[in-house]
Structure 1
Amino acid sequence: MASLAITTALFGLTVFLAKWLFLDSLILSPLRHIPGPKIFAVTKWRLAYEDWKGTRTRTINKLHQIYGPAVRIGPSEVSFNSLTVLRTIYGPGSGYGRTAFYRMFDVYGRQNLFTFYSPKQHGERKKLLAHAYSKSVMLKEPVTSMVEDKARQYICLIESEPENISEVFSTLHYYSLDNITEVIYGRYGSTSAMEGLESHRALISDILNPARRRLSWFAVHSPTLTQWLYTRTGLMGRLVKPLLPMQKPATYSSIREFALQAYRNFQLGSTNKETGNFYQQVKGKESFIVSRLWPYHLSKKTDGLDDLDIASECSDHFLAGIDTTSDTLMFLIWALSLPENQKVQEKLRQEVLNLPPESLNRKGFPMAETSDKCIYLNAVIKETLRLYAPLPATEPRSLPVRSVIDGYVIPGHTTVGMCPYTLHRKPEIFKDPLTFNPDRWLEPQAFDINKWFWAFSSGGRMCIGIHLAMVEMTTLIATVDRKPSLGATPALIMLPTNAQLSLETELPLSKRLELAFNAWKAAEGALSCWKALTPVEEEELHN
């Protein structure tokens, strides 16, 4: 009898698994008509495996090349790659909300502009901040003076380094860090990483920890388990410690602690009616971001934001403003340094060298407003963002109700999305898509291909910091390329450290990027591009 019961139970389990894995997914699912590899349709763990390897985005790109503009990449997930779908999912007025994936970006237990599912909630919060990040504000005082001064500090930092050889992963992160903290917190939390303050430089150490990626994987694919592991205390906490994807303190802990303290500093300062640094009072109002949110605080408005709401919003902007800008600048400088792109660098340099005297500030550096109008510089940045978007992966969305996308019936709560990486590599749109060619944005077809440019997303959820990012990038590159002693050369050396350059790009994924900014001072032995270290050299480096 016992063996019969076991056999019956195993048979029942087999039938259940067969129905769940195959019948429901491949035969009964409304998504069964969408092309794609069957193994991806059967289980989400097939794509999760690619995510673990760091090849998710490239795999999706390959699947689109095989199956076309619509690919089923999971039991309840579909990837699209067409302009019509882009407008449907992400266009103005779209009802598609951000999925639970984004909840791992909640800060202090509170949702923020980046993590709200509801377009209505997102729209209400965005109204409080849209003007503060508008182009008209970003291209006027006091922002322009601040960014110009940070660009000057970056030049001083590079020129202070031996042989003008800079480890640009760190130095560019210092640049974006110092900019974003001053924009958000003013004097209450502005950093001085470029000036050498070690406690501020240490804030990017979270970014360098390779375990950060492992923690992200668990947070996305096993959120309940991850939350349970990290909330254990006492004896149970000690028992599960070896199982943690990343040992405590977890990723971004130091940045979030710094951000919370900056908000507390502002609270105290606002009580004393202190003003900011560059962001001093404008028409009677402090103009850094945290001060823009303060009028909506509970103490000022009955249904307003509490302390953690404001602190979460500011911390999220803080985090978002570090990696994105610095990574784009790093890819841009790297691309310009390649021998095949020397004509591009020379053309760019000629544009900024020919700026009239009235386009320079009192210290002789390009003004931010002028840099923004440099046509070829903008084309170079745009091509960098096309080929090396700092956020290249899928931007997942969902609807709670049934919908139709591109002729396919999509059940409620199905995850749908598109990714810049794939969109920007369509050969029918971008000729020689893997070639770095800024001139494509200046040719007659530029109007048409611009419709496919999606580095900052689109619609109501479009990156709110786009104008700040562009001001930071145009000002820095114009400033660097006007210096006769600077300008990236082919003297790149890749060295293994704990920094992660980027995920899912065509770049060799080594851990450190050093650039010689002066060809005459660069050591002759370093003049090969992507010089690989021998095992002996690696051992010497670690010792």
Structure 2
Amino acid sequence: MLALLVFAALLAGTIFRCIIKPLYIDRESKIPGPISFALTKWRLAFEDWRGTRTRKINSLHQQYGLVVRIGPTEVHCNSLSALRTIYGAGSCFERTTFYRMFDAYGKQNLFTFHSVKDHSQRKKLVVNAYSKSLMLRGPAASMIQLRVSEYMALIESRGSQPHEIFSSLHYFSLDTITHFLYGAKYGGTSALTGHAAHRELLNDIVDPARRRLSSLVVHLAPVSRWLYSRTGLMERLVSPLLPMQKPATYTGIRNHALQASQRFQAAGDGDRASTESPIINQLWKSHESIKGSGAGALDALDIASECADHLLAGIDTTSDTLMFLIWAFSRPQHSQSQQRLIEELRALPEDVFQDGVPRLEAVDALPYLNAVIRETLRTYAPLPATEPRSLSADCVIEGYTIPAGTVVGVSPYSLHRNAEVFKSPLTFDPERWFGPAEQVAAMNRWFWAFSSGGRMCIGLHLAMAEMTALVAAIYRKYETSIAPGFEDKSPAITSRFELFYDETVSQIENIGV
């Protein structure tokens, strides 16, 4: 009898804790959303494993409204009010532990700092090097122009055969960001000009298995650490269980980044000062060995981690956006848009281009070129998923009280698919950016490809300069079309633990253009 009473008490307690409390008592219970998501975090984790999290959340917004409960203590929003509250200037919302999987060498960096204060202190060291004026003039502009020239030479060398752009665009973004971070002497890569080892650095990045690994790291971090730290016989035994075989994601890139930082540190003061890299030089000024570096001094691994973070952030984002832009423009239904861009570029004075490469200042303000890039970023945002945040105090968003500690977020994917703001949101349409002034102003408010506020993408101007220069060079000289046999297929990218593609196309595949 006693045992039966104990069992009944335990059962009642479990029902209360796991069902009644989250559905009827917790303050999050007032927020609309599916019961299954409210009861357990593993319902959303299942969507992560399937690679459908962001699309599922978007469908929940369509069903439940601007604010949706997607976990026992997680809420997703889709409104300008939420955007300003969570990410706006002066917001006290901070990054969650989710970002810690991007730590490098055991050190945090701009992307992974939890607190606004830590992020702000580190950002001050490098933000000036990413200014728009430096991207359009001086050494940074010359470096980008050289990479564009190398890309155009690669296209030329491949003749009239269909050109597989996924790989070559990754070479372009890799070479650009490594030269920007380290300079040619210490870590600049030469993937565009055929350096085999540098091209191999991308192998674990482009492996689609990385999304399953990311899901495991986020939801079962101890299991992930245990599996990937096995050696010898145990390593062979657990190998079939690994979501991604070794070397795991970013192994090659992080090894290269660490070696580049070590080479820079080992150089003499004169050699370090003479390198054309603006980033590692700026960071080195705060190295603990520098007189006057103060309480916020960085050690060698702090600098290595910071550079590795910028390196990783600068590869997929730019190359994936360029791939979708060229693919979309190459589709028959967008031939008129392609011709309009070609006409805009070919109407420029001859002196804007030198050996086929544009002066960045001259093409930066081209209205149609900017509309094309903006529409690509809207339709195919390179980081479309939620940017999670949390707050140590209660707050109110869209009339709902969000308890302290709740994870909240907004995603570019959902913002950019608001049909009231973007007519036919799934349609790639650069012309939309030339509509009525009020409509364009509304679209600009909802456009969120680079985040906003203090955590806004620091590499915004570098990425825009790369894309503007390369697209201008390509379409001034060439017209593009889809390779035969790929007309009804969409390219796909892996972002975190999801697969993204053009949802209006029935088949998914890597495409040659």
TM-based fold match above 0.5: yes
Tell me how far 1:37 sits from its aligned partner.
0.9
Tell me how far 1:410 sits from its aligned partner.
1.2
Residue type at the aligned position of 1:474: T
Tell me how far 1:46 sits from its aligned partner.
1.1
Q: 1:364 to 1:235 in 2, by over 3 A?
A: closer
State yes or no: 1:250 paired with 2:248. yes
Deviation digits for residues 367-386 of structure 1 (CA, Å, limit 9, x no counterpart): 11112111100000000000
Trace 1:270-309 onto structure 2 (pairs within 5 A).
Answer: 270-273=268-271, 279=276, 287-300=277-290, 301-303=293-295, 304-309=297-302
Deviation digits for residues 516-540 of structure 1 (CA, Å, limit 9, x no counterpart): xxxxxxxxxxxxxxxxxxxxxxxxx
State yes or no: 1:88 paired with 2:85. yes
* 8 Å CA contact 1:186, 1:276 repeated in 2: no
Q: 1:206 aligns with which of 204, 207, 212?
A: 204
Partner of 2:96: 99
TM-score norm. by structure 2 comes to 0.93
Tell me how far 1:458 sits from its aligned partner.
0.2
TM-score norm. by structure 1 comes to 0.88
Q: 1:37 to 1:10 in 2, by over 3 A?
A: same
Tell me how far 1:9 sits from its aligned partner.
5.2
Partner of 2:353: 360
Partner of 2:459: 465
Tell me how far 1:402 sits from its aligned partner.
1.9
Tell me how far 1:60 sits from its aligned partner.
0.7
Partner of 2:189: 191
Q: 2:318 aligns with which of 320, 325, 328?
A: 325
Q: 1:320 to 1:270 in 2, by over 3 A?
A: farther
Tell me how far 1:236 sits from its aligned partner.
5.4
Partner of 2:334: 341
Q: 2:365 aligns with which of 365, 373, 376?
A: 373
Percent identical across equivalent pairs? 54
Residue type at the aligned position of 2:50: K
Which SS does the other structure have where 1:451 is aligned? helix
Trace 1:86-485 onto structure 2 (pairs within 5 A).
Answer: 86-187=83-184, 188-233=186-231, 237=235, 239-273=237-271, 279=276, 287-300=277-290, 301-303=293-295, 304-361=297-354, 363-443=355-435, 444=437, 445-483=439-477
Which SS does the other structure have where 1:404 is aligned? strand
Q: 1:471 & 1:232 partners in 2: Cα distance?
A: 43
Q: 1:424 & 1:512 partners in 2: Cα distance?
A: 24
Which SS does the other structure have where 1:514 is aligned? coil
Q: 1:263 & 1:19 partners in 2: Cα distance?
A: 54
Deviation digits for residues 458-487 of structure 1 (CA, Å, limit 9, x no counterpart): 00000000000000000000000111xx22
Tell me how far 1:244 sits from its aligned partner.
3.0
Q: 2:131 & 2:272 partners in 1: Cα distance?
A: 25
* 8 Å CA contact 2:44, 2:70 repeated in 1: yes
Q: 2:408 & 2:108 partners in 1: Cα distance?
A: 22
Q: 1:490 & 1:114 partners in 2: Cα distance?
A: 36
Tell me how far 1:12 sits from its aligned partner.
3.8
* 8 Å CA contact 2:96, 2:389 repeated in 1: yes
Q: 1:492 & 1:461 partners in 2: Cα distance?
A: 43
Q: 1:75 aligns with which of 60, 72, 75?
A: 72
Q: 1:261 & 1:78 partners in 2: Cα distance?
A: 41
State yes or no: 1:512 paired with 2:510. yes
* 8 Å CA contact 2:187, 2:260 repeated in 1: yes
Q: 1:162 to 1:386 in 2, by over 3 A?
A: same
Tell me how far 1:493 sits from its aligned partner.
4.5
Instruction: Name stretches of at least 5 consecutive residues in structure 2 with no aligned partner.
Output: none
* 8 Å CA contact 1:169, 1:501 repeated in 2: no
Q: 2:446 & 2:348 partners in 1: Cα distance?
A: 31
Q: 1:97 & 1:177 partners in 2: Cα distance?
A: 30
Residue type at the aligned position of 2:263: N
Q: Which moved more, 1:397-406 or 1:171-180?
A: 397-406
Q: 1:201 & 1:239 partners in 2: Cα distance?
A: 31
Q: RMSD over aligned Cα, in angstroms?
A: 1.9
Q: 1:276 & 1:153 partners in 2: Cα distance?
A: 24
Tell me how far 1:143 sits from its aligned partner.
1.2
Deviation digits for residues 322-376 of structure 1 (CA, Å, limit 9, x no counterpart): 0000000000001101111111000001111111123223x24221111211110
Q: 1:11 aligns with which of 8, 31, 36?
A: 8
Residue type at the aligned position of 2:471: I
Q: 2:444 & 2:353 partners in 1: Cα distance?
A: 30
Q: 1:166 to 1:47 in 2, by over 3 A?
A: same
